[in-house]
Amino acid sequence: MLQLKSPYKDATTHIVMEPLEFMERLATLVPRPRLHLIRFHGVLAPNAKLRSKSVPAPAPPAPARISWARLLKRVFDVDVEHCPNCGGALKIIACPEPRRRAAIDDPPVIVKILTHLGLPTRAPPRTPARRVDGFQTI
């Protein structure tokens, strides 16, 4: 027997049910698994035409990463954006960030940069492999 909070219009105050019928009614109140318990209707519904006018737009996301130059400055106190000799601003011409794959692959430009830095423009010659015997000491 189930006592009602407030009587029905026909003055019913109690409901008598079999145990199996009671379990059926309780089971219908349990939400199905993996479903949202809150549902929006009207203007707040996900596909409503006027939803954009009634719900505020999401804030723009913050940048996911900071540049590697700023990370070097923060972690190792190495400022790669300023010249160590004169303190002037340096321009980063090749950036290892994955989103900005800006590698220099034009041979004349590479030769010009290496010449300006006083570095050799050709790779050192490869030496032939040495034969090593198992019992010989090096």
Write the pLDDT tens digit of every residue in 31-77.
888 888 888 888 888 888 998 888 888 878 877 788 778 888 889 88
Residue 27 belongs to some domain of the structure:
no
User: What integer pLDDT is reported at residue 58 of this predicted model?
Assistant: 82
105 domain-assigned: yes
Give me the amino acid identity at 51. Answer: R
* Domain extent at residue 82: 68-116
Q: pLDDT band at 16, cuts 50/70/90?
A: very high
Tokens at 3, concatenated? 């006592």
- pLDDT (tens digit, 9 = 90+) per residue, 73-104? 889 888 878 877 777 777 666 555 555 545 56
Q: Is residue 1 part of a domain?
A: no
Count up the domains in the chain and report the number. Answer: 1
pTM, to two decimals: 0.27
Give the separation between CA 81 and CA 79, rounded to whole angstroms.
5
Would you say residue 92 lies in a domain?
A: yes
Q: Are 79 and 86 in contact (CB under 8 A)?
A: no
pLDDT at 99: 54
